[in-house]
Amino acid sequence: MSFKTILVHVDESRHIDKRIDMAIKLARENQAHLIGMATTGVSQYLYETMALSPGDTNLVPYLEIFRKRAEKALEHFKSAVQRAGNLSFETRLADDEPSGGISLFGRYADLVVLSQFDADEASPANQPYMPEYIAMNGGSPVLLVPHSSMVSSFGERVLIAWNGSPEAKRAVHYALPILQRAKEVVVVSYLPSGQEEAFGERPASELAAYLMHHNIQARNIQEENISDVGDALLSLAANLSSDLLVMGCYGHTRIREILLGGATRKIFQSTTIPVLLSH
């Protein structure tokens, strides 16, 4: 298994180059087709509810401005990919806001590359819960690229957050192409005591045994009764010098409200390393 189609969100953010570089690296390693997708920021929801029509005379001038900005961002993406050389790629522009548009088109990709939300960047396209929404609704795994630090290495020292859940299993499955190239893989389980029946007595070692059949050597760590799993994961990742965290994305959506589990929310907000998530 490998990633054959990778979609990267393209906009005018100051973090766009990190995101594009990561997508190019993965596309090259997997001989994948790369899609750069930009959106105008005008939600399809407005059209669906008939609050506006695409030909509304009040909307058209603004929509043209938004399209030109999106096209400019796509030209930046195109130039970066062409400089990298020998990559199959295309660009997409959708009249939609990023969360909805990328959730939809991301279903036709094996991986979606997004940036972590940056509260210090003022931009209409910088939506606080966009990565979470896409991870919960897009149907494809999300690679979250941190905004706070340079990503000097990626996928060499991988930490897997494992609790035996379907979400975690999907994340591990999607991460297999990366895990097979990693120099070090560590599986960690933080389980409340008394839940052995739900998750098994040694979930971390069981996953390590599973990975061995994929020619992946992993060591395992298992701890119980950790009060803050999110903090524990971030601390362990720092201690191990991990350059990728693989985990399930836990929570649910209610209309457009995102309700995340505590550890998932902490990672989205505070990670300083890339995270591969799947719901």
Residue-wise pLDDT tens digits, 196-234: 555 667 889 999 999 999 999 999 998 877 778 889 999
Cβ contact 26:111 at 8 Å? yes
pLDDT of residue 197: 56
Contact 112, 143 (CB under 8 A): yes
pLDDT of residue 107 exceeding 50: yes
Question: For the segment 113-136, what is each residue's pLDDT rounded down to a tens digit?
Answer: 999 988 777 565 666 788 889 998
Render pLDDT for 7-61 as a digit per residue (tens, 0 to 9). Answer: 999 999 999 999 999 999 999 999 999 999 999 877 655 555 555 566 667 667 7
CA distance 124 to 146: 19
In the chain, where the domains are located: 5-145, 157-278
Q: What is the pLDDT of residue 43?
A: 62
Quick check: pTM over 0.75? yes
Least confident stretch, 32-46, 187-201, 252-266 = 252-266
Domain 157-278 has CATH 3.40.50.300: no
Give yes or no on whether 5-145 and 157-278 have one common fold.
Answer: yes
83 confidence band (pLDDT: 50, 70, 90): very high
Closest to 101 measured CA to CA, from 5, 11, 27, 22: 11
Identify the top-confidence range among 42-46, 234-238, 264-268: 234-238
Fold of 5-145: Rossmann fold (3.40.50)
Query: Residue 267 and residue 265: Cα distance in Å, rounded?
Result: 6
Helix, coil or strand: residue 187:
strand
Q: Determine the Cα–Cα distance for residues 120 and 134; give it in Å rounded to an integer.
A: 21
